[in-house]
């Protein structure tokens, strides 16, 4: 399988068919918490994508080349959560020191990302080899595919959260009954988005 086919397979699978938010329900907290404004939603999406790729870059080799040979694969949860927490902390410090402009737009979301299920979710999903091979329809799994999956999972997350923020900006201007204003109407908007994405699972 050449690179282009792989790219398309991963893109369709991670962004549309298995969209992290709307189909797999990973990262619902930021999806509802940080989707009031389009600009902040985009910032959150980008921050999640970056951390996702970096986390996969560390956790996938850690699992394959350290935990499995040492027969301590069952400790993966403890290792992964620590790697992610340390990574986020480091990224925050590096951005603060070297790219202050990016820090001011992205930095506020970084502490929230440690406890974001989407990051730990992608780290856990890519090590489940059988599941991944079935979802992507490929023969073997390696770090490159894992990273590609992380990139597109992050982009799928960004897509969903940006669409949601657009909807919420419009909804803020409406006069809604008190009972459904706030969380319930957001859930119902998410329901219609999920229905739209459901079409992709029929591919």
Partner 1 sequence: MNKYAKISINGLVWNNPTFKLMLGMCATLALTTTAVNGIGMGLTVTVILLLSNVLISLLRKAIPSSVRIPAYVVIIATLVTIVRMVLFKYLPDLYDAMGVFLPLIVVNCIILGRAEAFASKNPVLDSAVDGLATGLGFTLALTTMGIIRELLGKGSLFGIQIMNFSIGFFSSSAGAFFVYGICIMLFTQISESIQLSRKEKQGRELRKNLLNQEVQA
Which of 83, 92, 121, 143 is close enough to bind partner 1 by CB under 8 A?
121
Specify whether the CB–CB gap between 73 and 67 falls below 8 A. Answer: yes
If binding is defined by CB under 8 A, does position 155 make contact with partner 1? no
Q: CA 45: distance to chain centroid? A: 8
Other beta carbons within 10 Å of 9: 17
Which of 81, 83, 133, 143 is close enough to bind partner 1 by CB under 8 A?
81
Contact letters for partner 1, residues 26-45 (x by CB under 8 A): xxxx--x-------------
Buried b (16+ CB within 10 A) or exposed e, 135-168: bbebeebeeebbbbbbbbbbbbbbbbbbbbbebb
Nearer to partner 1, 17 or 155 (CB): 17
To partner 1, the closest distance from the beta carbon of 42 in angstroms equals 22
If binding is defined by CB under 8 A, does position 156 make contact with partner 1? no
Specify whether the CB–CB gap between 58 and 140 falls below 8 A. Answer: no
Nearer to partner 1, 28 or 102 (CB): 28
Q: CA 157: distance to chain centroid? A: 5
Residue 124 tokens, joined: 């856990």
Stretch that binds partner 1, among 21-29, 46-54, 55-63, 146-154 (CB under 8 A): 21-29
Contact residues for partner 1 (CB under 8 A)? 22-29, 32, 74-78, 80-82, 85, 114-117, 120-121, 124-125, 128, 179-180, 183-188, 190-192, 194-195, 197-198
């Amino acid at each position: 399988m050449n690179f282009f086919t792989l790219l398309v397979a991963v893109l369709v699978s991670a962004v549309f068919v298995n969209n992290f938010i709307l189909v797999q329900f990973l990262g619902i907290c930021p999806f509802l918490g940080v989707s009031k404004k389009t600009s902040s939603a985009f910032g959150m999406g980008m921050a999640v994508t970056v951390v996702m790729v970096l986390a996969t870059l560390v956790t996938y080799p850690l699992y394959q080349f350290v935990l499995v040979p040492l027969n301590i694969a069952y400790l993966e949860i403890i290792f992964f959560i620590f790697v992610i927490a340390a990574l986020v902390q480091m990224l925050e410090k590096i951005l603060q020191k070297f790219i202050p402009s990016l820090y001011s737009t992205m930095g506020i979301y970084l502490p929230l990302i440690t406890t974001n299920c989407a990051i730990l979710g992608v780290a856990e999903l890519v090590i489940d080899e059988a599941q991944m091979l079935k979802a992507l329809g490929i023969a073997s799994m390696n770090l490159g595919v894992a990273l590609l999956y992380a990139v597109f999972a992050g982009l799928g997350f960004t897509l969903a959260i940006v669409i949601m923020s657009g909807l919420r900006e419009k909804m803020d201007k409406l006069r809604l009954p008190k009972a459904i204003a706030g969380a319930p109407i957001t859930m119902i908007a998410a329901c219609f988005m999920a229905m739209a994405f459901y079409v992709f699972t029929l591919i």
